[in-house]
Amino acid sequence: MKRTWWKEAVVYQVYWRSFFDSNGDGYGDLEGLIQKLDYIRDLGIDVIWLNPCYESPDKDNGYDISDYYRIMDKAGDMETFDRLLHEVHKRGMKLIMDLVVNHTSDQHPWFIESRSSKNNPKRDWYIWRDKPNNWRSYFTPSAWEYDEQTGQYYFHSFAVEQPDLNWENEEVREEIYKMMRFWLDKGIDGFRLDAIALLAKPKGFPDAENPYDIRYLTNNPGVHDYLQEMHEKVLKHYDIFTVGEVAFVSPEEGLKYVGEDRNELHTLFHFEVCDEMPTWDPIRFKQIQKRWYEGLWGKGWNSQFLNNHDHTRQVTRYGNDKQFRVESAKLLATLVHTLPGTPYIYQGEEIGMTGVKFDSIDDYNDIAMKNKYAEEVAKGRDPKEVLESLQLLSRDNSRTPMQWDDSEHAGFTTGTPWLKVNPNYKEINVKQALADPNSVYYYYKKLIQLRKQNPVMVYGTFRDLSENEPYIYAYTRELDGVRWLIVLNHCDSDNVYTLPEETSSASRRLLLGNYTDVKEEGTTLHMRPHEARIYALQ
């Protein structure tokens, strides 16, 4: 297997508007990130993934771009960005930018021109039709919006304010490639490509048999032609890292995006866990991991994550954020960092930050949640019930401000935060974590160091030893005669695990555990709630 710097990297996602506010306006900013770079470096991070900071009306928190060549005022300016990039590189880290090329803002000059008349040269830069089909978008009941000025409908896979670009138009593609080269020539180290599987649209836009199953938006014929062209004209000319957001994809289809012989992307985010497993399902999770390992290993590269800016914090959704918050946060970290693929850390995950339940829809900012709430209430459903049904998976669970200390607003801002701070910031914050040698933070640091010092964590083969176990997840990683055993008790109660014969005869050395007092027990392991252990086998 080819060894590369990006396979060995640990990535830290910065949702900058919630990270650190340097000027008291209530929004995090690039200057705030610069001030916290030492914190990220000290954790052991190799790559920072920066969420979109381009010029934007901010209808979807920066994923509606109105100018690809400018930095939005909330984030700072280009001079600050250039300084950020310099400071990241000075500390030995790399920076990848989140880039949206499936759609723009409706305030982008391209779309303003496109909608001005049917005869405008940029009319075909977007998708216009006389009649809509029955498709839904991710955020709204219809993927089409009527434009009174020209009497046609434009297509939007997400919000009304986010019209899709027409990738069939060669001029569009060339303009996108030109823009990508602009950022890469600045020295950034790659892209996280948002909604990249949506670039190609089904021919003719036929009605869907079931419009609520929006898989018709993704992975359509032509998408790989576009990505191979992007690679040929842009990506292959730089030593960078690319990761694509690819929903509704199987390992077989995923390999087309990341196969090392395909010349498309380096790795991908699939969402069989985060989009399709609302709560913890151990048997299904193991099946997903095994299928993706068998589908990609030796041919392409996977990513490991359980939360991000779009998905509820992992300790709330897949762990126990109350009775065993610290233990389950460490267990989930062990899982992500020891399974095959590149591990991603979402800001605050490393201190065990949790999701949130606000009392009113007015306290939420998530456009997808607010649109769904309005749609359901309009049908006559009880508003309280609707709110409760949407809270667990609201994107705002992960977007509440970073909790730096126990001062007002968790030390995030001296102003009024753009989104309410989680009330538990008094107990859960960076200051507290750095003062406690047994904190979640220091466990992450140890995990990252283990990965840097032991190639088996990166390149080792994977074997599940516990496929039918409902609570225990045990697996091995093996490389060049080095064999590790990982055992996780993903449960609120004690469990006993008897080692299989292939590992029971080996001597074991505990490398890392999330309980401080682990006793060696022969071939039967007595695992406490949310206990995680990493062994070297000899």
* Full 3-state SS string of 155-199: ECCCCCCCCEECCCCHHHHHHHHHHHHHHHHHCCCEEEEECHHHC
Radius of gyration of the chain, Cα coordinates, nearest whole angstrom: 23
* 11 contacts 344 by C-beta, under 8 angstroms: yes
Select from 529, 13, 6, 61 the least CA-distant residue to 307.
Answer: 13
Distance CA 242, CA 236 (A): 11
| C-alpha separations of 368 from 61, 149, 397 in Å | 11, 27, 13
Select from 288, 294, 228 the least CA-distant residue to 258.
Answer: 228
* 396 contacts 307 by C-beta, under 8 angstroms: no
Select from 102, 98, 51 the least CA-distant residue to 398.
Answer: 51
Select from 461, 460, 463, 481 the least CA-distant residue to 473.
Answer: 463
In the annotation, is 194 catalytic?
yes
* 268 contacts 342 by C-beta, under 8 angstroms: no
Of the residues 46, 194, 349, 366, only one is catalytic, namely 194
Tally of CB atoms within 10 A around 122: 18
Select from 270, 333, 335 the least CA-distant residue to 296.
Answer: 270
In the annotation, is 494 catalytic?
no
| C-alpha separations of 162 from 41, 85, 99, 264 in Å | 35, 28, 14, 25
* 401 contacts 18 by C-beta, under 8 angstroms: yes
Of the residues 21, 161, 245, 396, only one is catalytic, namely 245
82 class by beta-carbon count within 10 Å (0-12 exposed, 13-18 middle, 19+ buried): middle
* 184 contacts 162 by C-beta, under 8 angstroms: no
Q: How many CA atoms lie within 13 A of 420 on its CB side?
A: 15
> Can you list the positions of beta strands (E) in 72-163?
94-100, 128-129, 144-147, 152-155
The conformation of residue 126, written as its DSSP 8-state character, comes to B
Distance CA 250, CA 331 (A): 27
Residues with Cβ within 8 Å of 480's Cβ and at least 6 positions away in sequence, in order, are 455, 456
Residue numbers annotated as active site: 194, 245
